Structure 1
Amino acid sequence: MKWIPSELHTHTLHSDGQHTLDEMVQSALHLGIDCIALTDHNTQSGLQDRQRIQHETGIHIIPGMEWTTFYGHMITMGIHKYVDWRNLGIDDIEKGIDQVHAQGGLVGIAHPFRIGSPICTGCYWEYPITNWQKVDYIEVWSTLMPSIKKDSQRAFAWWTSLLNEGHQITATSGRDWHRTEDHDAPAAITYIGTEDEEKLWHSLDMLQTSDVSYTDRVELEPKDHSALTALRQGAVTVTMGPLLTFTAHIAHPIHDDQSKRYHIGQELYCPPYEKLKLEIALDTICRQQYYTLADQSLRLVVNSNRGILFEQQIPVQTEVYDCELEQAQILSWVRVELYGYFAETYSMIAFTNAIYITHSL
């Protein structure tokens, strides 16, 4: 897997941000980010210089938009034509989601527990969801230093409860980037995983856009499809600093097909009475110049629908850790979490999305 450091929630002066798109991308370069999603409020007009900036900087810009409604904010990504929310009521959000999906786009619930009216009308998520298969992701960490924020902690717990109910939903972070200050607290990074690095990510041959205005239509590119596929499938891991990933396989396979390594976001069939083996990788070298992690003993945790299954104290170093799970027959998902001191505060430093486990073919 190739893991792409990304920021999926940004705003320019085309809505309420203070950056031009050029300035936003320069700030992203300074932070070691390779990909951003431009998600201005209710407009895509900021994408007009997208191709030029991509060619000049090498940073990819996913076309997006934040539906900024009275009952919640929803990120739409990968749509090529504007979808309007103003004719939708509080009970109609799934109709709007269907229109986004009809274009091959993704939807994500932004900062679901941020303070709402009257301070920030619409910032708190109030839309009822009857079919969670329609929601592609939830922004569980929001703003700077998100892991210590109460609204992010509530969103993370909500996502966990949805996993426990059997829903396969991706979790992301979102800085909700409006401005850049010298004294900014650290921001989380969403790593997007792609298996086709050469063809879909590091190619510099971009498709040409049509002559239609960007405010009306946006053409998608190979990198867009790569990123959207990864987000849709849950090939995502989130961190304040080091890159945390893992794979899973049957510990003692009977058949060759059971020895396959499964990646974050994938579903694994586990026969009865078999054990699962996890290989957990902590990479402290990737982007190490862009964050500070004090030398300490970190807490590595494997969490699941049955609670914590494994934990170990580990040093701050690049390493791979193995563990076997004895209770595989009662598991429906597993993920990995990392805890320690970051920015002088003890909190969760990183978490992965889940690998899902099924017990029937």
Structure 2
Amino acid sequence: MRWMACELHSHTYHSDGRQSLLELAQGARALGFDCVALTDHNTMTGLENKELVEQATGMTIISGMEWTTFYGHMVTIGLIEFVDWRPAGPRDIQAGIAKVHAHGGIAGLAHPFRIGSPMCTGCFWEFEIADWNAVDYIEVWSGTFPSIKTDNARAFRLWTEQLNAGYRIAATSGRDWHAQDRTEDPVSVTYLLLDDSEGSETERAVRALAAGRASVTMGPLVTLALRSETAVYGIGDRVPKQGQGNGFYAVATIDFQVRADKWAFPGAGYSLAVTSNLGVIGEISAHAAQSDYRFDIPGEGLLWMRAELKGTVRGVRTTIAFTNAIYLDPGEGV
């Protein structure tokens, strides 16, 4: 299995972007990405030369589309063909998500708390979700330097609330990339853990996100594992009730070498925490000279856990990276 650096929200001139697919892929490659999802608004025509662009750039391009409606924007990726967004009304988004799933795609809320009409039509999520089990992921970080934006903080809280309610929903970042404008802001990356089974890289990337095997960062890659003498569970895994018992502990790992020439946070003063539905399990200072950090796990009541890396960036103490969750079936003990 290996981690793939992905940009999961982008546009070309086939919707409101100011770049071709080739320019998008070249720009993503220059920033150290391995793949990019093209999610033009309500169209998939920008994917016409997908294979040629992949051959020219070495990038994996994931097919997708951003459903852009009056009631919210929904990013769909992995689609094998166009799925009509127009019937989606405020109370029937479930039917739209079901159609996306039926056509090989997965669906996520895009920037759910961004300012809406009239500044950005439909950008604020207003669809009624009858069953959160249908939602594959939430874009909790949108734009550049995403961790300091208040609308993203609300999206992150929404994701946490759904985890606390027992739902298994992934979290991603998306630049909502429209043009090859230079930025000095930190750029976030969604790393997806690809399995070794059959299928194209695109299929394995979509499968990884659907399974919640994702870690989001503006800098180093943070991963998390739950270990005992006899078992190891990673990000996105579910620990069955019968597999829970004494002796489990968490190990968070920080890789400071990923895309190391694309980011720098001097004087960050990193702190690493493992958080859960019970709150913070443990927190420790972290630094580039050490990669693995062990955390003891409480004995009961856990539904999920994730790792979070914080540090000072441009004078602001903020979250730099976070993992998706490891899930634990309800039961006494870990």
Classify the TM-score, shorter chain.
over 0.9
Q: Does 1:240 align with 2:218?
A: yes
CA distance in 1, matches of 2:203, 2:26: 24
Q: Does 1:225 align with 2:197?
A: no
Contact 1:243 1:284 in 2 (8 A): yes
- Corresponding residue for residue 20 of structure 1: 20
Equivalent residues in 2 for 1:188-203 (5 A)?
Answer: 188-196=188-196
Unaligned runs of 5+ in 1: 201-220, 254-258
CA offsets per residue over residues 229-266 of structure 1, 9 Å max, x none?
1000000000000000011123xx5xxxxx22111000
CA distance in 2, matches of 1:229, 1:245: 18
Q: Does 1:131 align with 2:109?
A: no
Residue 310 of structure 2 aligns to a residue in which SS?
Answer: strand
Aligned AA for 1:234? Answer: G
- Corresponding residue for residue 57 of structure 2: 57
Shifted more, 144-153 versus 76-85: the winner is 76-85
Radius of gyration: which is bigger? Answer: 1
TM-score when normalising by structure 2? 0.95
Equivalent residues in 2 for 1:79-228 (5 A)?
Answer: 79-196=79-196, 222-228=200-206
TM superposition shift of 1:37 = 0.3
Aligned AA for 2:158? Answer: W
TM-score when normalising by structure 1? 0.88
CA offsets per residue over residues 103-125 of structure 1, 9 Å max, x none?
12100110000001111110000
- Count of paired positions: 331
CA distance in 1, matches of 2:47, 2:184: 26
1:345 equivalent among 291, 316, 322: 316
CA distance in 2, matches of 1:175, 1:17: 13
Root-mean-square deviation (CA), in Å? 1.6
CA distance in 2, matches of 1:318, 1:16: 44
CA distance in 2, matches of 1:42, 1:317: 47
CA offsets per residue over residues 170-203 of structure 1, 9 Å max, x none?
000000001122234121100000131xx66xxx
CA offsets per residue over residues 15-48 of structure 1, 9 Å max, x none?
0011111111111111000000000000000001
Q: CA separation of 1:323/1:129 partners in 2, compared to 1, >3 Å: closer, same or farther?
A: same
TM superposition shift of 1:270 = 5.2
CA distance in 2, matches of 1:178, 1:301: 34
CA distance in 2, matches of 1:336, 1:16: 36
Q: Does 1:279 align with 2:251?
A: yes
CA distance in 1, matches of 2:260, 2:311: 16
Contact 2:67 2:74 in 1 (8 A): yes
CA distance in 2, matches of 1:183, 1:350: 20
CA offsets per residue over residues 70-96 of structure 1, 9 Å max, x none?
000001111122111212221111111
Contact 1:193 1:230 in 2 (8 A): yes
Contact 2:225 2:250 in 1 (8 A): yes
CA distance in 2, matches of 1:238, 1:142: 12
CA distance in 2, matches of 1:77, 1:260: 33
1:260 equivalent among 231, 246, 249: 231
Contact 1:2 1:194 in 2 (8 A): yes
Contact 2:253 2:293 in 1 (8 A): yes
- Corresponding residue for residue 316 of structure 1: 288
Aligned AA for 1:349? Answer: I
Aligned AA for 1:149? Answer: K
Aligned AA for 1:347? Answer: T
CA offsets per residue over residues 283-332 of structure 1, 9 Å max, x none?
001110110121443111110000001000122345111122133x2101
Unaligned runs of 5+ in 2: none
